[in-house]
Amino acid sequence: MLAPVAIACLWYGGVAWIALVAVAAVALAWEWTHMLRLPIEAVATIVLGVSVVVALLLRGAPLQTLVSALFAVVLLHYFWFKRQAPALGVLAIGPPAIALIWVRLGSAGFHNILYLLFIAWASDIGAYLAGRLLGGPRLAPSISPGKTWSGAIGGLLAAGLAGYMAAALAPPTNVYAFALACILGLISQLGDLAESALKRQCGVKDSGALIPGHGGVFVRLDGLLAAATAMGLMAAATGNGVVLWR
């Protein structure tokens, strides 16, 4: 149900896409604060800090300025709360949110982000189906007992195929499109494992209850957050505005 909304906002771009990313960032800040038992004001400060960097982005600030501003926000959170958790929250939420908005602003932004969404969704679905159907040895039993090696491999293959198909919307569709999709799929799975490790560290089963029956917003977006950050770095290296698999 959420996928059509995301694709529609991505298609329209502009305010619609920024608003969707903003809503997700607020939900993630709320769950981060809840999981790590932070003061409630941490929700507002994390969102405000990320919003300042996004505002600089929308005003056309260069990449170096954005990185410096994000670093300043992280330091402010660390010294203000005298704990690492709020600063880590900025790092967990800020870079992917900034990357999703910045990449979409590029001339190839729609195709790049759609490619990313297909990969993240296919990775989750493929891992779940392969793990349920094939079973087998556990991938990381001390972190997430439900994940299997068969699921991880199935998720990677599904991510590669989904990326390959999404790349067809902005040809050429080539081996590089498949390989890049597999890399982003792997990063997505690592993000999933990191979120599972965080929940175990915090002693909670679900990151939150904002999406009933789904384990929280972080559970739905953990892989996308990691892959979006990686895509943002790729776009910075190649020049935002180019189709990344060309």
Per-residue pLDDT, 207: 63
Per-residue pLDDT, 135: 81
Per-residue pLDDT, 9: 96
> Does residue 240 carry a pLDDT above 90?
no
Confidence label for 208 from pLDDT (cuts 50, 70 and 90): low
Element of type H or E holding 106 = none
> What is the rounded CA–CA span in Å between residue 223 and residue 28?
13
Mean local confidence (pLDDT), 158-165: 94
Q: 145: cis peptide before it, omega within 30°?
A: no
Burial class (CB in 10 A: 0-12, 13-18, 19+), 24: buried
Exposure on the CB side of residue 43, measured as CA atoms within 13 A: 14
Mean local confidence (pLDDT), 150-178: 90
Confidence label for 147 from pLDDT (cuts 50, 70 and 90): confident
79-88 per-position pLDDT tens digit: 988 888 889 9
| Residue extents of the structural domains in the chain | 2-238
> Does residue 205 carry a pLDDT above 80?
no
- Which residues 6+ apart lie within 8 Å of 227 measured at CB? 116, 119, 120, 184, 185, 187, 188, 191
